[in-house]
Amino acid sequence: MPQHPFAITLDVGSSLANQTGSWRNERPIYVDRLPPCNNACPAGENIQGWLFHAETGDYETAWRVLTQDNPLPACMGRVCYHPCESKCNRADVDSAVGINSVERFLGDQAIKNGWKFEAPKKESGKRVLVVGAGPSGLSAAYHLRRLGHKVVLQDAGPKPGGMMRFGIPKYRLPREVLDAEVQRILDMGVELKLNAKVDNIQETMKAGKFDAAFLAVGAHIGKRAYIPAGEAAKIVDAVSVLRSMEGEEKPLLGRKVVVYGGGNTALDVARTAKRLGASESIIVYRRTRAKMPAHDFEVEEALEEGVTMRWLSTIKRMDEGNITIEKMELDKTGFPQPTGVFETLEADSVVLALGQDVDLSLLNGVPGLTIKDGVVEVGPNMMTGASGIFAGGDMVPSERTVTVAVGHGKKAARHIDAWLNGKTYVPSEKHDVATFDKLNAWYYTDAPGTVRPVLDTVRRQSTFDEVVSGLDETNALYEARRCLSCGNCFECDNCYGVCPDNAVIKLGPGNRFKFNYDYCKGCGVCAEECPCGAIAMVPEEI
Amino acid sequence: MNDAVKEMEPTQKLKFYQKGTFTVGNRLVSEADRTVQASIERSNAITCGHRACQGCGEALGARYVVDAAMRATNNNLIVVNATGCLEVFTTPYPETSWQVAWVHSLFGNAAAVATGVAAAMRVKSRSEVRVLAQGGDGGTTDIGFGCLSGMFERNDDVLYVCYDNEGYMNTGVQRSSATPPAARTATTDAVGDEPGNVFGTGKNVPKIAMAHGIPYVATASVADLHDLERKVTKAMSIHGARYIHVQVPCPLGWGSASHDTIRLARLAVESGVFPVFEAEYGVITGRRKIRNRVPVVEYLKLQKRYAHLFKNGDAPRLERLQKMADRNIAEFDLLSHEGNV
């Protein structure tokens, strides 16, 4: 025994000998929760994941993470109705993060800097036919190619893009943006065949020795309604009008244009008519604004541009230079009923925007298919009743948006890949959603959202210039940094700092943290003070 | 003095970072702009294995203060500790959690011992070695108060830090002169005409320290680490007697959940119960403004020591406690936001 001073009998030791972890009845664990934006994205984007890189200014990595799910960010950043933003937790702090505008910024950066997709590392030797070069077909082609399959993308039209080109007006999606993003997919080695309508899918597959097919032909046939009309009456459908905008001959609609319908297509046509020089562009819709299927911000933009609306009205007949409309009123169930009150409106033409049907003729003679309400039924794996034939986009039961279509393409590609390998694709289990109550919002500074500048109203009435312009570098960074990183550690060091027992080990940039359970007493301060809800307390097994 | 009206300088000179501006660290700013606690190389002056209760605010507050002081002095620091929870849970002989030169003497004499250590360093021409004395509210506001006042009036070169958990906690939660009105302790039971601690008692040591006219006095909270570290660093840049009073929630004595420690400290600040300010030579020079004001009941209802106010629906006492917070807000100008964060 060493010599000790008077009255001292023991050597001095460190408290590290005292493993206070044994006090614990609950233990903290690091978790990744599903951010509500990711959960809401029909294309399954890892939004929080790419914003994490964008907020450091590393836009290329951000774009690469984004394009693991969606190959068309510049298009999507313009035309997506961003259900992600509707679910954003930041809305409970100030206003939702402008995810859509940052996505567009990243997409535009990629085009500007010429970022390319990598070619697959290994060829599978399988051939897949993709019918339809719209968003769904392009997405499927991209994902199938990434998985190493040989892809032939075949389209009936003269140019790729589908409804993104022949349905969405230029002022919402400039064609050079679309062209650039399509070209980048083709550069991966996807073969594109244009003006090549598939008349019989089974024959085409046989002739091209395809192992599987993904059908995404879209819904290009405008629905008609019977309207009694005089001889000189001009009644056209919205899809044809929008399609002919892409040709040499612009549609002749006259000075006074009436659009019949209340969806986004109706608005697209009414705004297009205004730009073609119509002095009056009137939307006639049988229900109220609140019941309109169109998105409210588009209604707002149309109204600002001088489009007028006739709610609760149906068109009874058309004669030369005018139409007769009947006033409607909503019954108790919210359904419009005729009132017998008529009115005459001047009109040079009527454009019907009453929805679209799918041309399913290529499926004639294919056994095992189920067709219901004019669309093809598919299983959870996106396969139709016919083995090896998958389908997605507007031709299957869905909400018909570009984003849903891109999501279908990705999902189908994964199932096709598994099917080609004789396996079943099992998606990884979803984490619990990081709802607002899981966050500690105290740690987030108040920062209202950036609103994208809207083109001067007068200018956009007469031109097809893009209506909503993008963010620049400084405000894109600002916007990205507004992300709360819900449910996913962003290395803020809070747990490391607030542990009274020094029982959190910091592993350095990019490596997050770990708990030292030898000393963690399970007080739960770390979980309580984690801003983004990335720590859970679980009962200790005793 | 013109400086009297000058507001507290911002805690951090940062650009506007939406995410993590108030967090311990922030990957978007340089290492130098992050807190000491965010650093992988922090001293961990109180290391693991100490015997403080789960969620102890004092263990946290003391590590924050001493780590910041060690960085500010380049580790040339001697710490003198009064008896109290902090001494009992860190140093049950023969073990210790301290990773700093550390002296313990008695309950009431930490300020006097620190004066002696500072004098010894002066005699040995070790001007780089600085002295920090620390204790709980019992050792500071009650038992050690005479020594503390002497250290102040002599303007000895010591930073004294009081970790105020508002009672004698490790001996079984007895009342101290820092126990707030209406709080139940073992010696102020929630019975009779005046349940809990009596209104109109106790003392405000930060204001008494200011009255000594010493170079620096500040209050701080474990809920605002950036502010706390800045004050410790500033105190270490000044010579003479300095005093920092840190409120440290106590799950045991307050009857609160262990995970609510920082939340309670935050609510105390945001309700006005605990005003956070700093003063130089007896004049207030800065105050931490309230960000999202909350009613005092939000703070009180999380603590069992105030449960009797809610069980019996004691509106008059709740009203008085709210009035005390309102008076703090008015006195220290905690709400107006001109020219300050």
Residue B18 domain-assigned?
yes
Contact B259 A524 (CB under 8 A): yes
Query: Could you please report the per-residue DSSP string of A190-251?
Result: -EEE-S---S-HHHHHHHTT-SEEEE-----EE------B-TT--EEEHHHHHHHTTSSS--
Establish whether the linkage from the previous residue to B94 is cis, with ω within 30° of 0.
yes
User: What SS3 string covers A104-159?
Assistant: HHHHHHHHHHCCCCCCCCCCCCCEEEEECCCHHHHHHHHHHHHCCCEEEEECCCCC
pLDDT digits (tens, 9 = 90+) for A8-47: 777 778 999 999 999 999 999 999 999 999 999 999 999 9
pLDDT digits (tens, 9 = 90+) for A299-352: 999 999 999 999 999 999 998 889 999 999 999 988 999 999 999 999 999 999
d(CA A429, nearest CA chain B) in Å: 28
User: For residue A449, is pLDDT > 80?
Assistant: no
pLDDT digits (tens, 9 = 90+) for A156-206: 999 999 999 999 999 999 999 999 999 999 999 999 999 999 999 999 999
Residue A2: phi and psi, rounded to 5, are -65, 160
More confidently predicted of B243 and A458: B243
The interface pTM score, or ipTM, of the predicted complex is 0.92
Strand pairing of A356-357 and A127-131?
Answer: unpaired
pLDDT at position B8: 41
Which strands form A336-346's sheet, in the order they lie side by side?
A313-319, A322-330, A336-346
Instruction: Assign A387 to helix, strand or coil.
Output: coil
pLDDT at position A471: 83
Residue B340 domain-assigned?
no
Contact A508 B40 (CB under 8 A): yes
Point out which residues pair with A338 in neighbouring strands.
A328
Residue B150 domain-assigned?
yes
Give the whole-angstrom CA distance, residue B168 versus residue B173. 5
Residue B321 domain-assigned?
yes
Nearest CA in chain A to B63: A500
Q: Give the pLDDT mean for A495-523.
A: 96
User: For residue B340, is pLDDT > 50?
Assistant: no
Contact B262 A498 (CB under 8 A): yes
pLDDT at position B204: 97
Of the partner residues A490, A500, A537, the one whose CB lies closest to the CB of residue B52? A500
Residue B156 domain-assigned?
yes
Q: Which tokens in the block code for residue A169?
A: 């007006």
d(CA B200, nearest CA chain A) in Å: 33
Instruction: Assign B258 to helix, strand or coil.
Output: helix
Q: Could you identify the residue written with the tokens 């990205």?
A: A480
Q: How confident is the model at residue B93 (pLDDT cuts 50, 70, 90)?
A: confident
CA-wise closest residue to B164 among B73, B242, B238, B275: B275
Give the whole-angstrom CA distance, residue A260 versus residue A270. 10
User: For residue A125, is pLDDT > 50?
Assistant: yes
Nearest CA in chain B to A21: B49
User: For residue A232, is pLDDT > 80?
Assistant: no
User: For residue A542, is pLDDT > 80?
Assistant: no
Q: How confident is the model at residue B11 (pLDDT cuts 50, 70, 90)?
A: very low
| Residue B242: CATH number of its domain | 3.40.50.970
User: For residue A149, is pLDDT > 70?
Assistant: yes
d(CA A10, nearest CA chain B) in Å: 6
Chain B residues touching residue A481 (CB < 8 angstroms): 17-19, 28
pLDDT digits (tens, 9 = 90+) for B118-167: 999 999 999 999 999 999 999 999 999 999 999 999 999 999 999 999 99
Contact A509 B47 (CB under 8 A): no
Give the whole-angstrom CA distance, residue A228 versus residue B195. 87
User: For residue A525, is pLDDT > 60?
Assistant: yes
d(CA A484, nearest CA chain B) in Å: 6
Q: Could you identify the residue written with the tokens 């770990």?
A: A514
pLDDT digits (tens, 9 = 90+) for B305-329: 999 999 979 999 999 999 999 999 9
Number of domains in chain B: 1
Instruction: Assign B289 to helix, strand or coil.
Output: coil
Contact A500 B260 (CB under 8 A): no
pLDDT at position A517: 97
pLDDT at position B20: 61
Of the partner residues A17, A447, A496, the one whose CB lies closest to the CB of residue B18? A447
Q: How confident is the model at residue B19 (pLDDT cuts 50, 70, 90)?
A: low
Contact B48 A516 (CB under 8 A): yes
pLDDT digits (tens, 9 = 90+) for A367-386: 999 999 899 999 999 999 99
d(CA B48, nearest CA chain A) in Å: 5
Reduced to 3 DSSP states, what percent helix, strand and coil does chain A have, rounded to the nearest 5?
35, 20, 50
Instruction: Assign A315 to helix, strand or coil.
Output: strand
Contact A525 B262 (CB under 8 A): yes
Residue B339 domain-assigned?
no
Of the partner residues A444, A490, A523, the one whose CB lies closest to the CB of residue B54? A523
Contact B22 A490 (CB under 8 A): no
d(CA A22, nearest CA chain B) in Å: 11
Q: Which tokens in the block code for residue A73?
A: 């960010």
What sign for the dihedral angle of Cα A347, A349, A353, A357?
positive
User: For residue B37, is pLDDT > 90?
Assistant: yes
Contact A484 B19 (CB under 8 A): yes
Q: Which tokens in the block code for residue B230?
A: 């800045």
Query: Could you please report the per-residue DSSP string of A462-522?
Result: H--S-SB----HHHHHHHHHT---TTS-----HHHHH-TT--EEE--TTS-EEE-TTT---
Range of the domain at B290: 2-332
Chain B residues touching residue A521 (CB < 8 angstroms): 54-55
Q: Which tokens in the block code for residue B129?
A: 């070695």
Q: Could you identify the residue written with the tokens 């395809």?
A: A210
Whole-model pTM: value is 0.89
| Neighbouring C-alpha atoms within 13 Å toward the C-beta of A504 | 31
Domains of chain A, start order: 15-32+489-539 (3.30.70.20), 41-115+444-481 (1.10.1060.10), 127-220+358-420 (3.50.50.60), 227-356 (3.50.50.60)
User: For residue A253, is pLDDT > 80?
Assistant: yes
Of the partner residues B28, B51, B59, the one whose CB lies closest to the CB of residue A56? B28
Of the partner residues A15, A500, A508, the one whose CB lies closest to the CB of residue B49? A15
Q: Give the pLDDT mean for A444-462.
A: 73
